[in-house]
């Protein structure tokens, strides 16, 4: 594989809504350029970047795939991101590692939720971008409608630089507004061969309209150009390309292109526009980094780790500064480990092609590193730096997970750990209080993939279960009573006897013990044992087996035996006293409440609030963040199960939410009764 200099590299992320046609387009770009030998398809499961068994089976992308197309002596690195929002982390990684984006839109659909989401990230990163309207060969494809939609919902800066000739089954050519040339495709062409003709009469009006818009937009990028244009002078082709490029880099113009990836129409033109209009790494700003004073000579960031069959862990990284040669050692500052980059490669889908070196800006891959993970920085050992990490979207869904076959618990933990390393939007924990493994991710589709991988890669058969809730108990009243432990079993007996008073304390105040014994009716040395007994019993609660918290216990009377009393007996007395008294002190169940912030387009406000209320949510208020309505509410944790899925279906994916623990509060009687009944059932089963 040839080594490309930084100026001859383009790093481009392909993003957009699910099923827009990104993977098919990336495959076509690599194929038409000659860099990939096969023209693959989703239907046959043969595309360049959807090569995992999961992707072939489900016919959509799940993880970020990387390939390249060599065109006009330039290497275009193609980062193909999945569109489904459950996998938005992959798109985030692609956009943070690229210098430009191609936002792909289906000509039969238009702007969708996934398009808006990635557009927001592109905006935040000030990424230069192109829009590619694909699937123009499909029935009901409508270029004009997509353009109107884009202007209204994405940005007024979008300007067509190409228009289609015909649409649907009649889609047969593309007019370039830059050159006035029309490419008429030869039927049955495999690599997009065409003849060049003048614009056909049917495109006349559209041609004049869009050509004028484009020229105006380009002229506006530069004062001298504008003057020339207003003075009625024609702009030269060089001026047009240079002006357009300037507009794209500044984010002032977003060119819109058109084609069909399956027919490879418009694919050659797209390759050329990528080279002509998008920045090389030399023109792209290096993302924020910390501790980098005076410029470290080497800088790279890992944006993905995949475990591949027969290879092991493959690390994908973007080089921001310096040169890496095959076999070089780099310093991973996060994990304080020197890593030797043997078999330095670039990815062409699942293929790894070895390269002697990579220049600044390029994207590479390397296998079997010792201790390198996603978001780690490569640098020189004597100039250690941390690059700011890629901000992966947060996990918003939680589920319990259990193994179907006993004995697979250890394998489950190992598998989940591995999956977390591959996917930063996936986390897991074992909650010992609840004796349950909890997984956190982006939604049910995400969890489905996790379960599938657990089985395929780690031989673990697991299933999702409702996550248990960490309830608490407390007291609302005062009560007093005795606990007496007495045993006479030959030899030395056991004797402990105490009287206690229990009373509530404020929420969050915890537990307090008071020694109110007078006259030594219980010897001093045994009183801490009473305290311990009470605390031990409180952990198991009295209503539903949950820890009883925020109360005070006062030991005010008791008796002892000269020979038979010991610490153990008084601890037992404390336990018995608690079990006797606590049920009389009006115990109540406490449930965890979450602060929930939901962001939705205002048209869904009513439905979303109605749903929150049906979850026993208390709406605190609504506000606007400029784009969307922000709803703040307090909702019991127990009612938030599968909220991500519900919100998605109410808002057609246009809603977002964030939740965090707020406090414990008394549960209503019907909830208490239900939880207590469940506890009784579980107790019996054990």
Ligand X SMILES: Nc1nc2c(ncn2[C@@H]2O[C@H](COP(=O)(O)OP(=O)(O)OP(=O)(O)O)[C@@H](O)[C@H]2O)c(=O)[nH]1
Q: Which of 20, 217, 379, 527 binds ligand X (CB under 6 A)?
A: 20
Residue closer to ligand X (CB basis): 36 or 61: 61
Stretch that binds ligand X, among 79-87, 306-314, 370-378, 551-559 (CB under 6 A): 79-87
Query: Given the rule CB under 6 A, which of 133-141, 169-177, 360-368, 553-561 is the region that contacts ligand X?
Result: 133-141
Tell me how far, at minimum, the Cβ of 44 lies from ligand X, in Å.
10
Please name which of 271, 269, 211, 258 lies closest in space to residue 78, comparing C-alpha atoms: 271
Size of the residue set binding ligand X (CB under 6 A)? 23
* Under rule CB under 6 A, residue 651 binds ligand X: no
* Residue 60 or 478 having the CB closest to ligand X: 60
Question: Which helix H or strand E contains 238, and what residues bound it?
Answer: helix 237-249
Q: For ligand X, which residue of 40, 82, 483, 533 counts as binding (CB under 6 A)?
A: 82
Q: Does 24 bind ligand X (CB under 6 A)?
A: yes
Query: Applying CB under 5 A, does 262 fall inside the site for Mg ion?
Result: no
**Residue 134 or 221: which CB sits closer to Mg ion?**
134
- For residues 340 and 376, the answer to whether their CB atoms sit within 8 Å is no
Contact 587, 473 (CB under 8 A): yes
The binder of ligand X chosen from 8, 9, 12, 21 (CB under 6 A): 21
- The nearest distance, CB 252 to ligand X, in angstroms, is 27
> Considering the complex, what minimum distance in angstroms separates the CB of residue 103 from ligand X?
11
We find the least distance from the C-beta atom of residue 129 to ligand X, in angstroms, to be: 16
Of residues 442, 482, 571, the one with CA closest to residue 86: 442
Which residues, including other chains, have CB under 8 Å from residue 357's CB and lie 6 or more apart? 3, 323, 324, 325, 326, 344
19 interacts with ligand X by CB under 6 A: yes
Number of H helices, E strands in the chain: 16, 36
Residue nearest ligand X by beta-carbon distance: 83
At its nearest, how many Å lie between ligand X and the CB of residue 52? Answer: 12
Binding flag, residue 83, ligand X (CB under 6 A): yes
Residues of the chain by 3-state class (helix, strand, coil), percent to 5: 30, 30, 35
| Using rule CB under 5 A, residue 47 touches Mg ion | no
What is each CA distance from 147 to 10, 399, 494, 541, in whole angstroms? 26, 41, 87, 63
17 vs 472, beta carbon nearer ligand X: 17
Out of 86, 99, 137, 339, which residue is the one contacting ligand X (CB under 6 A)? 137
C-alpha dihedral (238, 229, 131, 279), degrees to nearest 10: 40
- Minimum CB separation from ligand X for residue 175, in Å? 18
DSSP string, 339-384: EE-TT-EEEETTEEEE-SEE-TT-EEEEE--SS--TT-EEE-TTS-
Residues 4-43 that bind Mg ion (CB under 5 A): 22-23
- Which DSSP category does 186 fall into? P
Residue placing its CB nearer to ligand X in the complex, 114 or 160: 114
Among 42, 416, 542, 638, binds ligand X (CB under 6 A): 42
Q: How far is the CB of 651 from ligand X (least distance, A)?
A: 19
- Choosing from 11, 36, 61, 315, the residue that interacts with ligand X (CB under 6 A) is 61
Are residues 267 and 28 in contact, defined by beta-carbon separation less than 8 angstroms?
A: yes
Interacting stretch for ligand X, rule CB under 6 A, among 38-46, 230-238, 293-301, 365-373? 38-46
Q: What values do phi and psi take at 38, rounded to 5?
A: -115, 140
Applying CB under 5 A, which of residues 11, 61, 280, 374 lies at the interface with Mg ion? 61
Q: Which is nearer to ligand X, 13 or 341 (CB)?
A: 13
DSSP codes, 79-107: EE---SGGGHHHHHHHHHH-SEEEEEEET
- Give least dist CB 226 to ligand X, A: 37
In the complex, least distance from residue 317 CB atom to ligand X, rounded to whole angstroms: 23
Stretch of residues binding ligand X (CB under 6 A), selected from 14-22, 192-200, 278-286, 617-625: 14-22
- Sign of the Cα pseudo-torsion (111, 116, 118, 122, in order): positive
**How are beta strands 618-624 and 629-636 bridged, if at all?**
antiparallel
Q: Coil, strand or helix: which one is 12?
A: strand
Cβ atoms of residues 10 and 274 within 8 Å: yes
Residue 552's binding partner, choosing from ligand X, Mg ion, none, with beta-carbon cut-off 5 to 8 A by kind?
none
- # chain residues binding Mg ion, by CB under 5 A: 3
Minimum Å gap between C-beta 65 and Mg ion is 8
**92 makes contact with ligand X (CB under 6 A):** no
Nearest residue (CB) to ligand X, 147 versus 499: 147
51 lies in the site for ligand X, by CB under 6 A = no
Q: Which residues fall within 8 angstroms of residue 135, CB to CB, at 6 or more apart?
A: 20, 21, 106, 107, 108, 141, 260, 261, 262
**Sites for ligand X among residues 252-281 (CB under 6 A):** 260-262
**Does 134 help bind Mg ion (rule: CB under 5 A)?**
no
DSSP H or E segment with residue 397 = strand 397-403
Q: Are 194 and 185 in contact (CB under 8 A)?
A: yes
Q: Least distance (Å) from ligand X to the CB of residue 134?
A: 5
> Which H/E stretch holds residue 23?
helix 22-32
What beta strand segments (E) does 488-617 contain? 494-504, 511-515, 551-559, 587-600
Q: Which residue has the tokens 């690195």?
A: 77
Q: Is 89 in the site for ligand X (CB under 6 A)?
A: no
Q: How far is CA 593 from CA 206, 520, 612, 662, in A?
A: 58, 45, 13, 6
Q: Does 377 bind Mg ion (CB under 5 A)?
A: no
Interface with ligand X, residue 135, by CB under 6 A = yes
How buried is residue 630: exposed, middle or buried, by Cβ count under 10 Å (0-12/13-18/19+)?
middle
Q: How far is the CB of 70 from ligand X (least distance, A)?
A: 22
134 binds, among ligand X, Mg ion, none (CB under 5 to 8 A by kind): ligand X
Of 77-85, 369-377, 475-483, 560-568, which part binds ligand X (CB under 6 A)? 77-85
Which of 285, 385, 306 minimizes the C-alpha distance to 350? 306
β-bridge partners, 400: 438, 465
Q: Which residues bind Mg ion (CB under 5 A)?
A: 22-23, 61
> Which residues lie near ligand X (CB under 6 A)?
16, 18-24, 41-43, 60-61, 82-84, 134-135, 137-138, 260-262
């Amino acid at each position: 594989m040839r080594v490309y200099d930084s100026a001859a590299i383009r790093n481009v992320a392909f993003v957009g809504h699910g099923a827009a046609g990104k993977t098919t387009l990336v495959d076509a770009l690599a194929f038409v350029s000659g860099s990939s030998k096969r023209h693959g398809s989703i239907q046959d499961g043969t595309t360049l970047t959807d090569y995992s068994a999961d992707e072939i089976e489900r016919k959509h992308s799940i993880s970020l795939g990387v390939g390249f197309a060599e065109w006009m002596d330039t290497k275009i690195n193609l980062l193909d991101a999945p569109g489904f929002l459950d996998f938005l982390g992959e798109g985030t990684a692609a956009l943070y590692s690229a210098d430009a984006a191609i936002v792909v839109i289906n000509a039969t659909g238009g702007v969708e939720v996934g398009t808006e989401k990635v557009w927001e990230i592109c905006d935040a990163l000030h990424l230069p971008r192109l829009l590619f309207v694909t699937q123009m060969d499909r029935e009901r494809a409508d270029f004009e409608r997509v353009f109107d939609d884009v202007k209204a919902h994405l940005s007024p800066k979008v300007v067509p630089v190409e228009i289609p000739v015909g649409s649907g089954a009649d889609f047969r050519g593309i007019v370039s507004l830059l050159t006035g040339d029309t490419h008429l495709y030869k039927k049955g062409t495999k690599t997009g061969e065409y003849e060049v003709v003048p614009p056909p009469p049917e495109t006349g009006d559209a041609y004049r309209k869009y050509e004028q818009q484009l020229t105006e937009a380009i002229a506006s990028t530069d004062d001298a150009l504008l003057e020339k244009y207003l003075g009625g002078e024609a702009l030269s082709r060089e001026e047009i390309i240079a002006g357009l490029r300037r507009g794209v880099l500044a984010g002032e113009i977003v060119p819109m292109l058109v084609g069909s990836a399956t027919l490879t129409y418009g694919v050659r033109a797209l390759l050329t526009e990528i080279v002509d209009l998008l920045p090389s790494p030399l023109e792209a700003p290096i993302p924020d980094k910390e501790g980098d004073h005076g410029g470290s000579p080497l800088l790279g960031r890992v944006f993905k780790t995949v475990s591949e069959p027969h290879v092991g862990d493959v690390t994908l990284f973007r080089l921001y500064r310096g040169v890496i040669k095959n076999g070089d050692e780099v310093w991973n500052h996060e994990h304080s480990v020197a890593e030797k980059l043997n078999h330095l490669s670039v990815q062409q889908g699942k293929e790894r092609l070895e390269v002697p070196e990579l220049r600044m800006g390029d994207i590479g891959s390397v296998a079997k590193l010792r201790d390198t993970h996603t978001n780690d920085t490569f640098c020189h050992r004597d100039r250690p730096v941390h690059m700011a990490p890629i901000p992966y979207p947060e996990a918003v869904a939680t589920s319990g997970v259990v193994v179907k076959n006993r004995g697979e618990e250890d394998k489950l933990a190992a598998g989940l750990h591995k999956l977390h390393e591959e996917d930063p939007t996936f986390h897991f924990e074992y909650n010992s209080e609840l004796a349950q493994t909890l997984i956190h991710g982006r939604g049910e589709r995400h969890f489905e993939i996790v379960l599938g991988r657990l089985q395929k890669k780690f031989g673990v058969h697991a299933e999702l279960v409702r996550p248990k809730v960490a309830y608490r108990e407390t007291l609302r009243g005062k009560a007093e009573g005795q606990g007496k432990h007495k045993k006479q079993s030959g030899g030395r007996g056991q004797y402990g006897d105490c009287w206690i008073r229990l009373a509530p304390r404020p929420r969050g105040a915890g537990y307090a013990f008071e020694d109110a014994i007078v006259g030594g009716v219980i010897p001093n040395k045994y009183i801490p044992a009473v305290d311990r007994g009470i605390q031990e019993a409180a952990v198991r609660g009295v209503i539903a087996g949950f820890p009883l918290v925020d109360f005070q216990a006062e030991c005010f009377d008791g008796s002892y035996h000269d020979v038979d009393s010991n610490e153990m007996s008084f601890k037992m007395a404390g336990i018995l006293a608690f079990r006797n008294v606590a049920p009389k002190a009006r115990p109540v169940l406490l449930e965890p409440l979450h602060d929930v912030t939901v962001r939705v387009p205002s048209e869904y406000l009513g439905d979303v609030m109605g749903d929150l209320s049906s979850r026993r949510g208390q709406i605190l208020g609504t506000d606007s963040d400029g784009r969307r309505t922000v709803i703040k509410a307090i909702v019991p944790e127990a009612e938030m199960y599968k909220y991500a899925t519900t919100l998605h279906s109410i808002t057609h994916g246009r809603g977002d939410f964030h939740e965090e623990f707020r406090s414990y509060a008394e549960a209503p009687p019907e909830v208490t009764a239900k939880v207590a009944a469940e506890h009784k059932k579980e107790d019996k089963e054990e």
